[in-house]
Amino acid sequence: MTQNTGQALWISGIAAVMVGGAAWLIPAAQEPGVWWFRIGGLIVLAVVIWIGFWAGRRPDLAPDFFATRNGSFFESDGFAFRVGSEVHDGICHLCVWFQNRYERACEATVLVCTAERWLAPQRHLPACKVSMSCLPGAYGKALAPWPLPMELQGRKVQLDVMASREYPGGQGKLVRLRTGLSVGSVPRSAVSDVLGVLGVFGGIHTGRAARAEIQLPQNVAEKPPPPFEERTETIWKLGDPIDMSTAA
């Protein structure tokens, strides 16, 4: 079940309860037509419950690599991910563990910005963006260099997280069912990118960002030498043998 489908079911269920409940408060002797709303509300609610039960019992066609670790994960309608940091060659990298929940490949981008404002020292944490190609049902990780000011190294910081994804050939069949916490979209234009970064200081972000808290590493380079290379590693894809020891 996609995020949009799940949200539509929730809205339909709530509407059925509200309309049906209100209909049962109206005396049928005064308004005979109220029975249509009473019966209709019960039917819609029963259908919503049945669809939710059916969707929850369908088997996964791809392993849920995020299920082996406690805590939530994020999602941009089919592209599921977690964010963290890793140190390579003395340089901090934004690390994005990801999994494609559909049977066709997608292109995705994840953006993190500091969630602190104005006088907090975290406002100096630079935004970081990483893009990746994700094969059908694939699980892997993507890295992008992330320069950290010395005064923020070793701190625990809160981040605003956004993501965007595109399925050039369509999504195809859903292969992993469990959904994550929905995030807003990454700005696409150069102007909106600048506004998104400036929003760190003014409390303005494009899209509905989600919140993550991570521990920053210590003793890393403040200004990594160029070129700033992004790296993507596919750990598992549809058709591969399953090894859950590789889960994040």
**161-165, 184-188, 205-209, 244-248, range with the lowest pLDDT:** 205-209
pLDDT of residue 44: 81
Helix pair 34-57, 3-25: axis angle to 10 deg = 150
CA distances from 132 to 25, 97, 234 (A): 54, 11, 10
What is the spatial distance between Cα 44 and Cα 49, in angstroms, rounded to a whole number? 9
The three-state secondary structure class of 166 is: strand
Residue 196 pLDDT exceeds 80: no
- For the entire predicted model, the pTM comes to 0.70
The confidence score (pLDDT) of residue 9 equals: 62
Q: What is the pLDDT of residue 107?
A: 96
pLDDT of residue 209: 78
Whether residue 201 has pLDDT greater than 70: no
Instruction: Between 69 and 55, name the one with better pLDDT.
Output: 69
Tell me what the mean pLDDT of segment 113-128 comes to: 76
For residue 128, what are its two tokens? 């970081």
